[in-house]
């Protein structure tokens, strides 16, 4: 026992002299203590492993806490959680029925995200091609940065802009769509509908603007990696620029563009405030997408959390769990696609 105390001090001294030796380049081999090196490495490695494990722990904790807080509310639900469209989780009278379900949330989330995808994907591919192959070379970087700035605008500002500006300028487009594409049902704007463009269509367009930068940035990264030889071979054979793009760039970038689009879809599915500000809360399934209405997973949580009581909070957490699982699945597919395409390339 009496001999133990000095030994830690001795190792600290050894470690100190070791780094003096290393930094002045004059150290002999005896100055570096193997034990202190191993200890330093072990501590540092341990810290970094713990930090990495925390990433997995957070993901696991999200799943665990959402499940454990959702179960009591789900057990009290008198309706079918998957097929019910209404959202009355807190009974107005004690002992009254508890009714909530995700049918309208799921459909509206899906529809607004699909509108966003339909608009954003072609435009984003165009932007990526523009900044990679069409823009003057000196301007390409600043122009790509300009598109990236769209990602810097906070979602609540998109919501404000969508509510106070954008929706007021969509009247003509919506009537035009109704006139020429009303027969599809989707764009049929019924005379009985409330005017106002607080619709899934408007929300989808704003979402499209919001997910443009992520899709175009990733697509651009893939497009600029196309091997120089492929491009020059196509041009040397007399291909026009579009033929070059079609022959060498697009096939090479297909997997990357697909995964970029899926990542954009994940972003659109989980977007909250822009959607919450634009949509009027209507808990039913309405496939006339240009009419007022709509409520999504995320906007429902943001709008209802303030007034939710016990069961209501649990119900919102349950819907958050569904959103978490959906986005997890969507993002996992995108990441697996990216990884596989990297292996092939």
Partner 1 sequence: MATLTSPDLTPVAAALRGQKLPRWAPAALAALGVVLGIGASYGLYGELRTANAVVLSAVLYSAVQTAASFAVEGRRQAVDRLFTTFVYTAFLLAALPLVLILWYTIQRGYHVISGTFLGSSMFLVNPDNAGGGIYHAIAGTLQQTLLSALVAVPLGVLTALYLVEYGGRTRFGRLVSFFVDVMTGVPSIVAGIFVYAAWLIALGFQKSGLAGALALAILMLPIVVRATEEMLKLVPADLREASYALGVPKWRTILKVVLPTALPGIVTGVMLGVARVMGETAPLILLVGTNPKINLNPFSFSQVSANPQTALPTYIWDSFQQAAGNPTHPAAQRAWGAALVLIALIMLLNLVARTIARFARARG
Helix (H, G, I), strand (E, B) or coil at 199: strand
* Residue 4 C-beta: closest distance to partner 1, Å: 25
Q: Does 249 bind partner 1 (CB under 8 A)?
A: no
Q: Does 184 bind partner 1 (CB under 8 A)?
A: no
Taken in order 276, 282, 283, 287, the sign of the CA dihedral is negative
How many residues bind partner 1, per CB under 8 A?
103
**Range 50-69, binding partner 1 (CB under 8 A):** 50-56, 58-59, 61-62, 65-66, 68-69
Label residue 267 exposed, middle or buried (CB < 10 Å: 0-12, 13-18, 19+): buried
Cβ-based neighbour number of residue 111 at 10 Å:
21
Q: Rounded to whole angstroms, how far apart are CA atoms 90 and 97? A: 8
Cβ nearer to partner 1, comparing 222 with 298:
298
**Range 68-97, binding partner 1 (CB under 8 A):** 68-69
**Range 22-41, binding partner 1 (CB under 8 A):** 22, 25, 27, 29, 32, 37, 40-41
Cβ nearer to partner 1, comparing 187 with 297:
297
CA distance between the termini of the chain: 62
Cβ-based neighbour number of residue 124 at 10 Å:
27
Q: Does 343 bind partner 1 (CB under 8 A)?
A: no
List the Cα angle 112/115/117 in 5-degree steps: 110
Token pair, residue 201, equals: 């269509």
* Residue 301 C-beta: closest distance to partner 1, Å: 5
**Range 126-165, binding partner 1 (CB under 8 A):** 126-127, 129-131, 134-135, 143, 145-147, 149-161, 163-165
Burial of 304-339, coded b for 16+ CB within 10 Å and e otherwise, reads beeebeebbbbbbbbbbbbbbebbeebbebbeebbe
HSE-up (13 A, CA, CB side) for residue 264: 35
Q: Does 281 bind partner 1 (CB under 8 A)?
A: no
Q: Does 202 bind partner 1 (CB under 8 A)?
A: no
* Residue 202 C-beta: closest distance to partner 1, Å: 13
Q: Does 174 bind partner 1 (CB under 8 A)?
A: no
Using the contact rule CB under 8 A, the part of the chain among 2-10, 17-25, 77-85, 224-232 near partner 1 is: 17-25
Taken in order 153, 156, 159, 165, the sign of the CA dihedral is negative
* Residue 183 C-beta: closest distance to partner 1, Å: 22
Cβ nearer to partner 1, comparing 26 with 93:
26
Give the x-and-dash track for 111-130 against partner 1 (CB under 8 A): -----------xxxxxx-xx
């Amino acid at each position: 026992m009496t001999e133990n105390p000095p030994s830690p001090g001795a190792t600290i001294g050894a470690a100190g002299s070791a780094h003096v030796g290393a930094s002045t380049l004059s150290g002999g081999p005896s100055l570096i203590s193997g034990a202190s090196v191993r200890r330093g490495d072990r501590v540092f490695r341990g810290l970094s492993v713990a930090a990495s494990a925390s990433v997995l722990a957070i993901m696991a904790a999200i799943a665990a806490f959402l499940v454990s807080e959702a179960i009591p509310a789900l057990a009290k639900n008198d309706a079918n959680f998957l097929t019910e469209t209404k959202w009355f989780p807190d009974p107005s009278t004690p002992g009254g029925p508890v009714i909530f379900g995700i049918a309208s949330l799921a459909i509206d989330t899906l529809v607004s995200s699909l509108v966003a995808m339909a608009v954003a994907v072609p435009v984003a591919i165009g932007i990526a091609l523009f900044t990679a192959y069409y823009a003057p070379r000196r301007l390409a970087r600043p122009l790509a940065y300009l598109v990236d700035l769209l990602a810097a605008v906070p979602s609540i500002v998109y919501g404000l802009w969508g509510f106070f500006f954008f929706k007021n300028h969509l009247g003509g487009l919506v009537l035009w769509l109704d006139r020429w594409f009303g027969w599809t049902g989707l764009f049929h704007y019924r005379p009985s509908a409330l005017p106002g463009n607080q619709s899934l269509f408007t929300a989808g367009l704003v979402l499209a603007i919001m997910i443009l930068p992520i899709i175009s940035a990733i697509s651009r990264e893939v497009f600029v990696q196309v091997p120089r030889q492929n491009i020059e071979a196509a041009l040397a054979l007399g291909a026009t620029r579009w033929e070059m793009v079609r022959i060498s760039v697009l096939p090479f970038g297909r997997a990357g563009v697909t995964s970029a689009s899926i990542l954009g879809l994940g972003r659109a599915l989980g977007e909250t405030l822009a959607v919450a500000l634009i949509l009027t809360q209507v808990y039913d399934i309405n496939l006339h997408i240009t009419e007022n209405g709509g409520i999504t997973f995320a906007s429902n949580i943001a709008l209802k959390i303030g007034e939710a009581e016990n069961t209501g909070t649990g119900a919102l957490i349950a819907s958050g769990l569904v959103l978490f699982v959906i986005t997890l699945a969507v993002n996992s597919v995108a990441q697996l696609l990216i990884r596989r395409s990297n292996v092939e390339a």
